[in-house]
Amino acid sequence: MSRISVISGDITSLDVDVIVNAANAQLQGGGGVDGAIHHAAGPELLEQCAAIYRQNGACPTGQAVIMGAGDIPVKAIIHAVGPVWQGGDCDEAGLLADAYHNSLQLAASHGYQRIAFPAISTGIYGYPKPAAAQIAMSTVCDFLRNHSLPHQVVFCCYDQETHDLYQHLLMNCD
Ligand code: AR6
């Protein structure tokens, strides 16, 4: 599908409207892509996260919240909480699909055209990469079939295995 692209690189340096963070439920910042985003965005992002946490409490797994981007030159950051892999019997697949779907809904409702995703849950949270890539691609394909926004979805891959998985799946997404 031409509205989807797969690239290799650092999500903090992309020319898009909104980037998605693989966050934790406390919105506390952490390692992986979360650490890279907080490092690039500066302390303002952590302050926004803390304010939202004080107001709303934890962000449940599968849900997402949107906020400003600090020093990163995009319009917004969506913090999505993916599931921790526990073997596959704890609705991890449904929750991972929800994280993508809810992020897309937020981007669309704010009128954003271009969104970039990391491979949510496939690092520290241990979700097997092939299964996670399939869920990411099918959820995004389904969403785009039924919505005009976002117009462009970028899968930003940080390792070669993830990049190859997405490239392969993209060829089968019509
Ligand atoms: N740009 C794009 N992708 C990246 C980058 C980057 N700069 N850095 C890492 N990745 P992870 P999770 C990839 O661990 O599994 C944090 O502590 C990485 O290679 O960032 O959802 C949070 O606070 C992998 O493919 O997220 C949570 O506690 C993907 O991003 C927890 O980790 C996701 O890996 C979330 O774990």
Mean pLDDT on 139-159: 97
CA distance 51 to 32: 22
Closest CA to 78 of 88, 89, 69, 70: 69
Percent of the chain's residues with pLDDT above 70: 99
Judging by beta carbons within 10 Å of its beta carbon (0-12, 13-18, 19+), is residue 78 exposed, middle or buried?
A: buried
CA distance 112 to 102: 14
Give 38's pLDDT tier (boundaries 50, 70, 90). Answer: very high
Q: Which pLDDT value is given to residue 172?
A: 78
pLDDT of residue 136 exceeding 70: yes
ipTM over 0.95: yes
Tell which one of 39, 65, 158 to mutate to probe ligand 1, the residue whose CB is within 8 A of the most ligand atoms: 158
All residues at 6 or more sequence positions from 2 whose CB lies less than 8 Å from its CB, including other chains: none
CA distance 99 to 79: 9
Give nearest CA residue, ligand 1 atom 29.
119
Distance (Å) from CA 67 to ligand 1 centroid = 19
Q: Which residues, in sequence order, are bridge partners of residue 3?
A: none
Rounded mean pLDDT of the chain? 97
122 Cα nearest atom in ligand 1: 15
Judging by beta carbons within 10 Å of its beta carbon (0-12, 13-18, 19+), is residue 99 exposed, middle or buried?
A: buried
Residue 23, Ramachandran bin (φ over 0: left; ψ between -120 and 50: alpha; else beta): beta
Tell me if 100 CB under 6 Å of ligand 1. Answer: no
All residues at 6 or more sequence positions from 44 whose CB lies less than 8 Å from its CB, including other chains: 68, 70, 71
pLDDT in tens, 75-121: 999 999 999 999 999 999 999 999 999 999 999 999 999 999 999 99
Q: Which pLDDT value is given to residue 103?
A: 99
pLDDT of residue 171 exceeding 80: yes
